[in-house]
A and B are shown apart, each in its own frame.
Chain A
Amino acid sequence: MKQAIALFRKDLSSEIRTRYAINSLLMFIIVTISVILYAIGQEKISDYLTGGLLWVIVFFTAMSGLSRTFVSEEERGTVMALQLSATPETVLSGKFMFNLVLMFSMNIIILVLYSLLFEAFVLKNLSLFLAAYLLGNIGIASASTVIAAIISKAGSKGTLYPVLAFPILLPLMLTLIETTKMSMDGTPFDESLVELAVLGSYNVVMIAASYLLFDIIWKD
């Protein structure tokens, strides 16, 4: 665990020095929200649609930023030094921690901006939404991390990432959209346990599969 934390701290420090992901992600969030606002104009859109659009922004933000942890190592050629020094479990854990922090930071910004700019986005059961948001972020970060490791070895990294991530993240996104809708309706927490259990199970399966597969992905 100490080794994984060392890798996480290195990635965080590297990100602060190089701004490899943060700047482009912030710009992406601002541009996407602006485009949606311009597209809507004076039209009145349904409440549920705002809930769905939130997850569209979250999905594409993850797609544009979370691959960089592995892609930057591959592009700069530092991956070999890492392979020589760290076990695959250390690398996956460290990169997962970094992606989790990046995902949470970006999604807090998205949520704040979204709540301020979209009047129709009103959550009647905030605790349900926050529980789903927490589980959803973990799910997106875990799936995105292992997909990033796969695509970092490929030639067309940029286009391959969302293509590969979409089918894997689809069940998660559909459940998150459904849970957001329930939060907007004010559905009580205990009536939403099935959806939350699906999100929790998705995370367990994805994290377990990542650790099982990563050894093969990381070598060669």
Chain B
Amino acid sequence: MNNYSLSVSGLTKVFGRRLIFRGIDLEITGPGIYGISGINGSGKSTFVKIIAGLLTPSKGAVEHKLNGKKAEDEELPGIIGLASPYLMLYDEFTAEENIDFFSKVRGGKFSSERMRNLFDYFGLTERKDDLLKTYSSGMKQRVKFIFALQHQPSLLILDEPVSNLDIAGKNQIYDMVRDYACEHVVIVASNEESDLALCSRVIYLGDYKNNGNGEGR
């Protein structure tokens, strides 16, 4: 296990003239589940995209550290795993081909045993050789979890993790998140009460429209 920490300072995002959030500070120094909440359009997805390095902030900085050393941009694919409903995988490939491709393109060590275990855990082993376009939305969501977890990221980001999932699927994800957070950092962006109940700390983005501090409500 890597000694991972995340530092967010003065994070501000503006789209055109519209302020999404301003002045978010956040320090995560150890394993656990951290929540990001807010009404629709409050910028939850924008926030997690900035954390994941997919968007650049208008102001402020995000720093990922491994064993006390700042991680460079090219190291981020190995550090971060993200699953969300807006993440799309390749429909013309099977689920296994998708995971295999993303592992290869990410580099690092690839464990076929871990991939098998994840397909088993999410109940997709029998369908792993089917093209992704034949999957239901709930099944696609599970493949996205495998995509996010295959490389055992130090930071797992889950945006609306239980959307498209049935009750059994939701409970399975909650178990997985609790288990994974024992040794890693998990950030959950959601409005669902049951998702936020997992979190030891929640940031409400609505409180960052001005200069407020919405932490730990």
- Listed in ascending order, the chain A residues whose CB lies under 8 Å from chain B are 2-3, 6-7, 10, 13-14, 17-18, 76-78, 80-87, 89-90, 94, 215, 219-220
Determine if B197 is an interface residue (Cβ-Cβ < 8 Å): no
The answer to whether residues A86 and B105 also contact, given A17-B92, A77-B88, A78-B90 and a CB cut-off of 8 A, is yes
**B54 touching A84, Cβ below 8 Å:** yes
Q: Is the CB of B88 within 8 A of A86?
A: no
Considering the chains assembled together, what is the distance between the CA atoms of A18 and B53 in angstroms? 30
Instruction: Give the nearest-CB partner of A13 in chain B.
Output: B93
Contact partners of A83 in chain B: CB under 8 A = 53-54
A–B Cβ pairs within 8 angstroms, 7 of them: A3-B107, A6-B101, A6-B105, A14-B92, A76-B91, A84-B80, A84-B82
Assembly CA distance A47 to B102 (angstroms): 50
How distant is the Cα of A61 from the Cα of B112 in the complex, in angstroms? 41
Contacts of B74 in A (CB 8 A): 87, 89
Nearest A residue to B108 via CB reads A3
Q: Which of B73-118 contact A (CB under 8 A)?
A: 73-74, 77, 80-82, 86-93, 101-102, 104-107
Q: Which residues of A contact B107 (CB under 8 A)?
A: 2-3, 90
**CB-CB nearest in chain B for A15:** B92
- Set of chain B residues within 8 Å of A90, measured between Cβ atoms: 105, 107
Cα-based distance from A215 to B72 in the complex (angstroms): 13
Contact B56 A84 (CB under 8 A): no
CB distance from A79 to the nearest CB of B (A): 8
Asked if B176 lies at the interface with its beta carbon under 8 angstroms from chain A, I say no
Are the CB atoms of A85 and B105 closer together than 8 Å?
yes
B105→A219 contact, CB < 8 A: no
Q: Shortest beta-carbon distance, B58 to chain A, in Å?
A: 11
Bound together, the chains give a CA A90 to CA B108 distance in angstroms of 14
Give bound CA distance, A91 to B29, whole Å. Answer: 32
